[in-house]
Amino acid sequence: MIRKKLRLLLFAAMLLSVTCGCYRTKNEMKNYKSMDTDKAAEVALEYMNNKYYKEFQVISSTKDAKYSFAPGVVQDYWCDVELTIKDSEPNETYKVRVIHASNKKDYIIEEDNYMTSLVKPWVKEQMDGILSQLDIHEYFTFLWSVDERITSDFGFSPEFKCINENNTLKEITDVYDVSLDYTIVIPSSSYNELLYYKIEKIYKEYFSQDFNGDYSGDCVNITIYTYTDEFYYKYKKAVVEGNQGNNELENRNRYQERLYTIYLN
């Protein structure tokens, strides 16, 4: 008798879960279908113009969704609005992600990657400045990506304020949860294991809140590539001249001797 009651209770709980899940799924699909791309574009344009004090114009507004394994079941949805700065040269485009507010009627900004274009050269300069404290005579660097980890896919949230020349990278990472991917390229003749530990130490000390391994929530990935000297100088020349389009450089992994990664997270 007790087992029968338990089975009935379990069945009722499963039925309630399925019913609620289907209800939520139907609502998510309904909300996704009702999302107005024109309205999303209007909200994105107003946000960009007001935040960055520039005149943007909309190129496109496209909504998309994340589906579950079940056909037609929407787990999440959004609208990506592509914009450019009016009358700008070169004509670069930027993306703003717009989502529904909790009331499913209003439209709010989740993130934009125009901030990335402002932050990226500044972050690279800061990372290069830290590295320059070491006695390395031959190297060059890239900052492949930087964004705010709280965002879903790219860029920075509306809460991220514009940086100024008086800020330091440490001040920014103490306040915001930032992720960055930084690369150091060194010729093999200048590289040794001791240099790796020096690079690791100087960045760990910079980003740690104390020197006992208690790091902030940021994710700082530093990759060190070494190449044969002959190829390294060809690579560096191409980077300086902004010409990396030949086959040899596109296949540069053939010339790579070592790859080391430092994770600070």
pLDDT tens digits, one per residue of 111-122: 999 999 999 999
Element (H, E) at 238: helix 229-241
Residue 20 above 70 pLDDT?
no
Backbone dihedral angles phi then psi of residue 183, each to the nearest 5 degrees: -125, 135
Tell me the pLDDT tens digit for each residue of 139-177: 999 999 999 976 667 899 999 987 887 889 988 888 888
Residue 135 above 80 pLDDT?
yes
Q: Quick one: pLDDT band at residue 245, thresholds 50, 70, 90?
A: low
In the prediction, which pLDDT does 10 show? 46
Element (H, E) at 203: helix 193-207
Q: Report yes or no: 152 and 115 within 8 Å, Cβ to Cβ.
A: no
Residue 129 above 80 pLDDT?
yes
- Average pLDDT for 189-202: 93
> For helices 193-207 and 114-131, what crossing angle results, to 10°?
120
List alpha helices for 83-180, DSSP H.
114-131, 169-175
Q: From 3.40.50, 3.30.450, 2.60.40, 3.10.310, which CATH number describes the 116-264 domain?
A: 3.10.310
Instruction: Return all residues near 239 (Cβ < 8 A) that are at least 6 apart.
Output: 140
Tell me the pLDDT tens digit for each residue of 30-46: 899 999 999 999 999 99
Q: What percent of the chain has pLDDT over 90?
A: 52
What pTM value is reported for the model? Answer: 0.79
Tell me the pLDDT tens digit for each residue of 52-90: 999 999 999 999 998 877 766 888 999 999 999 998 877
Instruction: Please give the Cα distance from 236 to 141 (Å, whole number).
Output: 10
Residue 15 above 70 pLDDT?
no
Q: Beta-strand (E) ranges in 11-127?
A: 56-67, 74-85, 93-100, 107-112
